A and B are shown apart, each in its own frame.
Chain A
């Protein structure tokens, strides 16, 4: 079954992404992990689009394209934030950004 491999790959990528988000201390690495998660989801969307609605349906593809566009924007904003944090702190380690702890 073709879809199984796609979904499996998506799950693996998702798990790698989640691990990266939780475990990495580098902000850029976290952003990259988030990209991984998004792409895992895109993979799922495309797989389901191919499989479930039959050919001719573009719903899933359009959805995936939107996700890509928004992910690009998100990375732009995220990297901007990181750049400013770096200018202020001379560091992009997330452990040092804990001023908001309760």
Chain B
């Protein structure tokens, strides 16, 4: 092994999730006794993970560069065939670093725990560790004085551990393990303020909706396991191994039907986890959790897990769904992704809650990633996942910063915000930079990732999705412009204008502690005292623990794109090299579009158009001047219908809860009640009566007569015989001697008689 080929960090990448998992236990057991209530353990563990992940990334890049066909050692490739292989088509790949231990054995099957470190895993590890670290630092200030501070950090740490474990999973069992840990932690974190019934309801909704998809994960894993098992066993592995599944999918030995249904089942899991249509309804409700949770959930962990699953098993989906087969214009992944882009973006227009705008934006951007995967744009999709994490995390943290220091814990853009740009310059700058990145303004990171997805859709002959992507870009710019205008510009309203507790108590705030009128409870705990302080000072910039992560993330949102910027004057494609070219031994050959300015022009025009149109409309509707557009959604009937339709979220929640859930639950409940009353109760009652009758008969006949008779009889017999034999025990030795000799004499007599 050469130094450049592998390294300590690469071989020990499994430590990255282990550290926060151990930290979770430490926080739970010792957190409350620590000086900072356990938060220091959480932050320290995430920093450790980040250092380990950075080391892993560094050594991975060394490994790739060392063997890169373009690198200096290209000529030495032949000598290091072990680390560098050609696949069937002759393309080159860097061997992933796979280490595993046997977790448990059952019937000759070995279930392993281990690491599968390739470009994709390294990218995700670094991303998750970085975002988690920043979010935890941010939470130090944001949740200061919270009543479950310690538990919050414990759950947050375990959440990151779950995602990290899933990302580097070597086999499907481990992947499911990490996946479920995340599901559990998202439930705990979304319902962090469970005293408010709405919050615990949201947590349950998130949990159950994702659960619907999780069935797909179990079914898909099972299908793939049995299908791939024979192939994998021949190659010294088993059907759970991710590498074996990918190799099997590409080997062409599997039946196409099995591949199809396996990938469909797994895709259903991705739909649930990544909040794709039609299971996207849980994500906006997940805003009930504290803002750092939303931020972490939406940028790099929970919701990208579904996208990551598809990317991880991409050969399976690629073969199973015939992606990029000549003449194909639609496939399941692209269609779901495309629908999600449009419907989520449309919903973002009618939200008043700043976090819900961002939530729908996330859903829409996840749609882009899915669509990218669907049209064969694997690298741009993963690159979008990478850049999206930075700017979406930054946007959420900005929203938290605004509510923390600017709008008095309210998230309502229309009631409590406006004109904050002058009061909160750092937050505003970070927000605008991230928004530019999200919208895909040229030379911001979103431009290099999102536009590449759109470009690739055209390049790979998916014309419909090319159009969908462009429309989505237009809508993204428009709703983000609306949100930016409402929050930071225009006239200050409500709490942002220094409003009082009365407006706040009725505000649609999600942080439940904000619902308590601040002045009334000013002395009850430190956080409310802080509220009172806010009320005096009015909107102001947030403290450095909040702005610090914001600045870091905003900088990354600006510059992250440049590791894969094929435009003048950069011409870098390092991301594609490090991540895509090295994602496992087995990988389908994908044709990625070459960047040309001509192809980017429509998208840039649409972004600009979206900005201008939206700004004009916002100024008319929300501005001070009288305008014919003001109140248009209530005056014009078709627009009113659309508005109502959107406000009610396409009635999907109503469909799920009233039609599907109630339709299933009602008859089942009634049937169960009938069975309970008429069958079970009758059986139980009859059994009771029968038992009582039997008991009485047994008592009278068996117990009283037979048993008691036997007991009394034996007592009487014993007593009688005792009385009869009593005189024998005279205590006189002579008498005993006489008896002894008498008996001996009788015995002798008998002996004589018998013998003669």
Contacts and interface: CB of A to CB of B under 8 A. Distances in A.
Contacts of A45: none
Contacts of B733: 30, 94, 97
A5 interface: no
Contact of B741 (A22, A97, A102): A22
Interface in B707-756: 725-726, 728-734, 737-738, 741
Interface string A78-102: 0000000000000000110111111
Contacts of A30: 733-734, 737
Contacts of A99: 731
Nearest to A94: B733
Nearest to A101: B731
A40 interface: no
B729 A21 contact: no
A36 to B, nearest CB: 13
B732 A102 contact: no
A10 to B, nearest CB: 14
A68 interface: no
A100 B734 contact: no
Nearest to A14: B741
A61 interface: no
Contacts, number: 37
Contacts of A95: 732
Interface in A47-102: 94-95, 97-102
Chain B interface category by residue count: 10 to 19
Contacts of A23: 734
A28 interface: no
A100 B728 CA distance: 11
Contacts of A25: 734
A21 B737 contact: yes
Question: Which of A21, A25, A30 has the most CB atoms of chain B within a 10 A radius of its CB?
Answer: A21
B729 A102 contact: yes
A22 B741 CA distance: 9
A16 interface: no
A18 interface: yes
Contacts of A101: 729-732
A22 B737 contact: yes
B731 A100 contact: yes
Nearest to B729: A102
A30 B737 CA distance: 10
A35 to B, nearest CB: 14
B734 A22 contact: yes
Nearest to A102: B729
B734 A24 contact: yes
Nearest to B728: A102
Contacts of B741: 18, 21-22
Contacts of B725: 102
Nearest to B733: A94
Interface string B181-211: 0000000000000000000000000000000
Nearest to A22: B738
Contacts of A24: 734
Contacts of B731: 97-102
Nearest to A37: B741
Contacts of B738: 22
Nearest to A23: B734
A75 B733 CA distance: 17
A22 B730 CA distance: 14
Nearest to B725: A102
A95 B730 CA distance: 10
Nearest to B732: A98
A97 B735 CA distance: 12
Nearest to A100: B731
Question: Which of B732, B737, B738 has the most CB atoms of chain A within a 10 A radius of its CB?
Answer: B737
A26 to B, nearest CB: 11
A92 B139 CA distance: 102
A85 to B, nearest CB: 11
B734 A102 contact: no
A32 to B, nearest CB: 14
Nearest to A25: B734
A30 B734 CA distance: 9
B330 to A, nearest CB: 106
A100 B725 CA distance: 14
Interface in A2-35: 18, 21-25, 30
21 contacts: A18-B741, A21-B734, A22-B734, A22-B737, A22-B741, A30-B733, A30-B734, A30-B737, A94-B733, A95-B732, A97-B731, A97-B733, A98-B730, A98-B731, A100-B729, A101-B730, A101-B732, A102-B726, A102-B728, A102-B729, A102-B731
Interface of A: 18, 21-25, 30, 94-95, 97-102
Given A22-B741, A30-B734, A101-B730, 17 more contacts: A18-B737, A21-B737, A22-B737, A22-B738, A23-B734, A25-B734, A30-B737, A94-B733, A94-B734, A95-B732, A97-B733, A98-B731, A100-B731, A101-B729, A102-B725, A102-B730, A102-B731
